[in-house]
Structure 1
Amino acid sequence: MDSGFVARAQATLAEDTSVVPEFWQSKYKDEAARNWDKFYNRNTTNFFKDRHWTDREFEELRPGYAFSEQRPVLLEIGCGVGNFIWPVVERNPDVFVYACDFSPRAVGFVTANERYNADRCRAFVCDITKDRLAETIPPHSVDLVSAIFVLSALPPEKQAAAVANIAEILKPGGRVLIRDYGVYDLAQLRFKPGHKLEDNLYVRQDGTLSYYFSTDRLQELFVGHAGLVEMENDYTLKRLVNVKKDIDADRVFVQAKFQAPLDTRSLEQAMEGTRVD
């Protein structure tokens, strides 16, 4: 990112010295799943659009991408109401998709969708910070894990457990695809005082959390904690212009790929001490 942009963003963030009281911080963190469930109760399936752009950003999601001779398996964490799942299933007839979310209501919308087919997809409720994915998905069996705007919903102290949980179900050579909010994103800079829980962690009006990632933080989580190999890890800037709302600013996202070691033994060694109990 441009040094001038970073300096201006840091100056803006430094103006907000307020922090949400500790009681409310604990409450928002403890009730994260409940607040997302309320979100889906209010918005049902109408809030997010289907993510048809993902295969432009990640070649692994394009039809015909070769993983192995076996049927490719993908896990989407934080599946919401299925906006990522449906385009992937439609474009890739050979892929089997696991999909999880910690909102039971969101998972219910997925399984109730007319496009849901148990032969192609299995959706289930899971809080990846504490529920072991390997109890539903065989260890070392998943080719791809998509984490699209989902890790930012977790407080920093729970992120390492979630990443270790994900690493346990990756095949040797399996990959994690990440797109999420980056530090100095427009949304972070526009938070008013009274929404900051700690550095880069904020609470929205509806009680849901939003964390803004640096590339260093992603590297710390996936390489340092989970023993994966960094393939890509960078910022993506998208210019947002809205004349009616007087907006002309950058959206900042992190986009990354991390790969499990190529043999199971190396993966197990990398996972030492990082499992979710």
Structure 2
Amino acid sequence: MDSTDGSEDSAEISACNRKQLSEEEEAKLQAQNSRLVPEFKARQLELQAQKHWDLFYKRNETRFFKDRRWTTREFEELLSDPSEEPKVMLEVGCGVGNFIFPLIEEKRNNYFYYACDFSARAVEFVRNHELYDPTRVKAFQCDITDGESLLQNIPAGSVDIVTMIFVLSAIHPEKFKQVIGNLHKVLKPGGVVLFRDYGLYDMAQIRFKPGHKIAENFYMRQDGTRSYYFSTEEIEHIFLEEGFETLVNSYAHRRTINAKEGIDVPRIFVQSKFRKKNNDGFSER
């Protein structure tokens, strides 16, 4: 499991085009094709996806990810004046609350938060958090690939902002479009999706050994969870097809540094903002 999913310990290096691979990196990616995850095993991983995430949170509880205190620096939409009219935010893949609780603790806005996760165990950790307030937060278990599951908890067209941080990569690529289509249903016209996920040729992708690759840019981790690596072109195409327009879409280069453990590794993420068009096909300006 990649322990740097939700944290970053240094400033942005650059936002640029796709990474150019070295010969050694090319060889590592080619070697991954020598032994793929068997088709039967890949089907099992899909059928047991929720089980693997529940086991992940059973094993790690709230200890694995750091609080995401970088989010307001990267996404100014998360900040608001308390005197402004309250907005509604949906966090897709809330985990144990490392995203929403820092926002609540730091009093950076006056939003009402919906927080959903595939893992019922993760949702319980959110509900048991000392800052959980049902007047400000509604946490619920949800399969985001299932539109009915989402709409049972959130009225259609009621959300101002959706955050999707290191979430879509854990879902089977064949379901990407229906996930984004479901987000489109709950967003207001002009509503925004704030997106960050693994970028193509990230260090974590290159270091996978043979036997872990499921399909192109899609991998199995040791614990049975999965990880996909996006190009900016691919994620933009998906959102545009589902009725969004692009505000920002680029590669974000970071370094994860932990001097105590001797860690200093480059990371590549895709960081984007997409806006739902109005019913007339145009966005609000």
Q: Tell me the equivalent position of 1:170.
A: 187
Q: Deviation at 1:238?
A: 1.4
Matched, 1:204 2:242: no
Percent identical residues: 49
> CA-to-partner distance for each residue in 1:223-262, whole Å, 9 max, x for gaps?
12x110011111011134678878664211000000011x
The match for 1:105 among 121, 136, 158 is: 121
One-letter amino acid matched to 2:66 = K
Counterparts of 2:151 and 2:54, CA distance in 1: 24
CA distance in 2, matches of 1:174, 1:75: 11
| Conserved? CA contact 2:82–2:110, under 8 Å | no
- Which residue does the alignment assign to 1:126? 142
Q: 1:43 to 1:70 in 2, by over 3 A?
A: same
Taking the aligned partners of 1:83 and 1:242, their CA distance within structure 2 comes to 19
Distance 1:4 1:200 in 2: 14
Aligned to 2:246: 230
Which of 54, 58, 79 lines up with 1:37 in the alignment? Answer: 54
1:239 corresponds to: 255
Distance 1:10 1:168, change over 3 A: farther
Q: CA deviation at 1:52?
A: 0.6
| CA distance in structure 2 between the partners assigned to 1:143 and 1:54 by the alignment | 17
TM-score by structure 2 length?
A: 0.86
RMSD: 2.2
The one-letter code matched in structure 1 to 2:87 is: P
8 A contact 2:78–2:109 mirrored in 1: no
Check conservation: 2:28, 2:207, Cα contact below 8 A.
no
Q: Tell me: higher relative CO, structure 1 or 2? Use CA pairs within 8 A at least 6 residues apart.
A: 2
- The answer to whether the 8 Å contact 2:17/2:251 transfers is no
Q: 1:142-185, CA deviations, whole angstroms, 9 ceiling, x for partnerless residues?
A: 11000000111001001111110011111111000011101100
* CA distance, structure 1, for counterparts of residue 229 and residue 74 of structure 2: 20
Matched, 1:6 2:21: yes
The Cα of 1:15 is off from its aligned counterpart by 2.3
Q: Which amino acid aligns with 2:129?
A: N
**Counterparts of 2:109 and 2:70 in 1: how far apart (Å)?**
18
CA separation of 1:175 and 1:3: change in aligned 2, threshold 3 A? closer
Letter of the structure 2 residue corresponding to residue 77 of structure 1 = V
Deviation (angstroms), 1:30: 1.4
CA distances 1:109-129 after superposition (whole Å, capped 9, x unpaired):
100111100000000000011
Does the 8 A contact of 2:18 with 2:200 survive in 1?
no
Q: Which shifted more, 10-19 or 200-209?
A: 10-19
Give me the TM-score of the superposition, normalised by structure 1: 0.88
Question: What corresponds to 1:148 in structure 2?
Answer: 165
Post-superposition shift, 1:191? Answer: 0.6
> Secondary structure at 2:98's aligned position in 1?
coil
Q: Match for 2:189: what amino acid?
A: P
- Aligned pairs, number: 263
The range that moved more, 56-65 or 244-253, is 244-253
Whichever residue aligns with residue 32 of structure 1, its letter is: A
1:149–1:246 CA distance, 2 compared to 1 (3 A) = same
Deviation string 1:82-109 (CA, Å, 9 cap, x unpaired) is: 0001012232352100000010000001
**Structure 2: gaps (5+ residues):** 1-15
> Structure 1: where are the runs of 5+ without partners?
268-277
- The reply on whether 1:250 has 2:250 as its aligned counterpart is no
